[in-house]
Chain A
């Protein structure tokens, strides 16, 4: 692992070995985790309808069974660390679904900046879906699509244009 506790973000090399294969996330979205530290937390496990996420005990790191995951996004919604994402290959483009708790919210079909783990702009993408996940807040799951495959390892945030 990189020295992520020194800088506050992961490197692509930290996640790439455990990343699901393209065959798996071409069928439907699949959850990926960036929860790498032992902390006492397990709502992702209890929220999963197919028991695809497991933990030895409450302070273990979650393990996702990519074959069992149906990509429903329940874990992405509930994760207090905003550390879960969905990846999907949709025909000829790639999609990332990420939790977003800022204003303004983008709208479907908006072009947005794609940001990496350090907030750097690494391209632009098109918003495919905006799902408001709570009754009383604007907390949302946002799906962005883009062409370059390599970006699925890097895009973890968006920047709303003129936002």
Chain B
């Protein structure tokens, strides 16, 4: 299932290492995660559900959901999608909830950090925020859960929209490279493979976990740039391995060069579904169909046209009814919908070995809620989002947001918001950034001036305070 030739990407694969899955040796590349190594070796079942012992596999592949939990070196509930594989590692399918390890010897001592600004998440928003602050000499600590910096930019092989200022016409992967280069040249302090999981307001401490080590972080300011994750929709068999988020397939294919399947179905014709489908074609994967419950394609038309000219059919007013298969997807049963989104009697089957969901994203809001930020449910922004001022400060003083965590938009708006949040912090720190801020706000307004932004603007009004 390995991809060797790709029109846009080169996969650098270093010497192989060996780890153990269920006691059997499995080969892997050292730069890949456990979940990816398993997929490369054709292993899709990661665990069995606690009650009904149903097989479970990967869903988000970016450390946000808990679909890939396995037992690693005796520790249960390890997110294998973000854990780098190591020589001799012992990986086991988890049965149910898992047992607590009998020893705590693997836990290392703790460390403390007191940065002026803590930036959580290294996607376009977090990278931009960190760069903007460090350029002015502010002490930043950037935390990233995944093995690589760049968030979801690192798998966006398509050229971006927008204007030259927002790097339009440049591929997402190139934007990630440029930003990471800038970050490194500024010598920003960062940790990858580090999950920030908790906040205690009385002590003003954030807790993070890195290589079995506890990090205690005491920041003055925080930029939450935690991004978003894929939504699930209800249908029979939706927990079957190889029913996964479109973004997870994109991670497999574009970051690690592993085919998600041979024939796939894409559910949802928004931009994510259309873009990922095209990228699967580029990786030599057959996209059998894109289905969309609405009567119209929701993403940019040009992305749809890129697919249809390769003969990929897009069925509007159609959705998935059932995923069928033993241990893995074998086929999908689709159903046409009427104008009220009710299922009709028109059903049809297609043989696919993967079903990818691109039915919307939801902001990764949990840390904000835990931190006590006032939240509101805004469907047009993707779900629960924090209230925020014009300067992107939440209801908790000195806690800022940037990017998709405040509402699902584009990488271009995320970059600008990352910069805006940082300029707002710089202003509080006494820097003269008024002019820069005004220009930035104007650029943001321009990006949000299209018909696509109408609902977003409405949503943003509902979460604005002051």
A→B interface (CB under 8 Å): 4-10, 34-43, 46-47, 57-59, 78-83, 101-103, 115-120, 136-139, 156-157
Contacts and interface: CB of A to CB of B under 8 A. Distances in A.
Contact of A119 (B164, B282, B308, B316): B308
A139 B282 CA distance: 11
10 contacts: A37-B300, A39-B450, A43-B169, A59-B450, A79-B169, A80-B169, A80-B302, A116-B309, A120-B311, A156-B309
Nearest to B447: A40
A10 B306 CA distance: 11
A57 B449 contact: yes
Given A37-B302, A103-B6, A137-B7, A117 B162 contact: no
B304 interface: yes
B314 A8 contact: yes
Contacts of B308: 7-9, 117-119
B160 A80 contact: yes
A80 to B, nearest CB: 4
B305 interface: yes
Contacts of B301: 4-5, 8, 36-37
Nearest to A157: B309
A102 to B, nearest CB: 6
Interface in B114-145: none
Contacts of B307: 8
Given A6-B316, A8-B269, A81-B306, 10 more contacts: A8-B307, A40-B446, A40-B447, A41-B161, A59-B449, A82-B302, A117-B308, A119-B310, A156-B305, A157-B309
Interface string B149-178: 000000000111111100011000000000
B451 interface: yes
B311 A58 contact: no
A81 B161 contact: yes
Contacts of B314: 7-8
Contacts of A6: 295-297, 316
A119 B287 CA distance: 13
B5 interface: yes
A36 B78 CA distance: 47
B169 A39 contact: no
A103 to B, nearest CB: 5
A9 B295 contact: no
Contacts of B312: 119
Nearest to B446: A58
A143 B449 CA distance: 36
B8 interface: yes
B303 interface: yes
Most A-side CB within 10 Å, residue of B160, B301, B311 = B301
A102 B282 contact: yes
Contacts of B297: 5-6, 8
B235 interface: no
B7 A102 contact: yes
A41 B168 contact: yes
Contacts of A59: 449-451
Contacts of A115: 309-311
Nearest to A83: B302
Interface in B268-323: 269, 281-282, 284, 295-297, 300-312, 314, 316
Given A40-B449, A43-B164, A119 B309 contact: yes
**10 tightest Cβ-Cβ pairs between the two chains A and B:** A119-B311, A81-B302, A8-B304, A80-B159, A43-B169, A59-B450, A41-B161, A157-B309, A78-B169, A8-B314
